[in-house]
Structure 1
């Protein structure tokens, strides 16, 4: 049952990111890179951050990279000049997520533990389900920020709820 909930949350993330990216297609590159809300990064910077962090985590979970190496992944904002390049980053990330989720066979798989050493030398161990929920929560936060910016620009992505 818990695995089913995780799968549904990641489907929701896919649908929500698609809706946000469809709305981003409606704005200019100038609007994409502008500071829309004082004290917040641009829409582009927020999405690059969101997709990069998600990619870091899934690379670690899939054992493609160690925890330490995964957290060194850095996508440079200047490498993503427009909505299309952001969509490509998301599609690449989402493909990895889908492959990983398809590899999970039961809720027991969500109990896997992952250990990494942080840049300050602290060793941290986390349970997979906790990290997967964190990624969803992190995404909800940043999609909400982007939705506010898009709405201020006159391009609301509409209802972003799961139900």
Structure 2
């Protein structure tokens, strides 16, 4: 996969994340913090987990110290969707800055940290995207169950909205 393809996937990823956070901003504080008996986590914890995994994989792929990427974000630190959205925007800027430095050689280079997974770097970047998509699916279910469906959040919906915005 080339850098333009990777960046397009991350553009979609951040569009979808922001969309869910915009919908979540309409919730009561209790609904934002509620646990779930339908998915693994409640809405707040699900979205914090998505950001946590995006961040930790970026730091890990940048070969940062384990102490940086292994620490988990605490859902309790995000009292409302805006606080989480602000944190996500900061992380998005760091991810985009790093992605802009990657050339085809870097994307195709085998990455491993001494473990069993040895794949081209771009495989791990796609993993970040697909993991976030799974978390957004869980979040969309939770939002829909409480009357706040986020609507369509597929890639082509992003492409259509991005081309309309131009």
**TM-score, with structure 1 as normaliser:** 0.86
Unmatched tracts of structure 1, length 5 or more: none
Q: 1:56 matched to which residue of 2?
A: 56
Count of matched residue positions in the alignment of Structure 1 and Structure 2: 156
- Which deviates the most, 71-80 or 18-27? 71-80
From 139, 145, 151, the counterpart of 1:152? 145
Is the 1:32–1:44 Cα contact (8 Å) retained in structure 2?
A: yes
The alpha carbon displacement at 1:70 in A equals 4.2
1:33 is matched with: 33
Partner Cα distance (2:38, 2:91) in 1: 29
Deviations 1:118-155 (A, max 9, x none): xxxx5643421110010000010000110111111111
Q: 1:80 aligned to 2:78?
A: yes
1:115 corresponds in structure 2 to 112
How far the C-alpha of 1:99 sits from its partner, in A, is 0.6
Deviation of 1:40 after TM superposition, in Å, equals: 2.6
Match of 1:96 in 2: 94
- What stretches of structure 2 of length at least 5 have no aligned partner? 157-166
2:67 is aligned to 69
Q: 2:113 aligns to what SS in structure 1? A: strand
Question: How far has the Cα of 1:81 moved from its partner?
Answer: 1.3
The structure with the greater share of residues assigned to helix is: 2
RMSD of the alignment, in Å?
Answer: 1.8
Distance 1:115 1:162 in 2: 29
Output the TM-score relative to the length of structure 2.
0.85
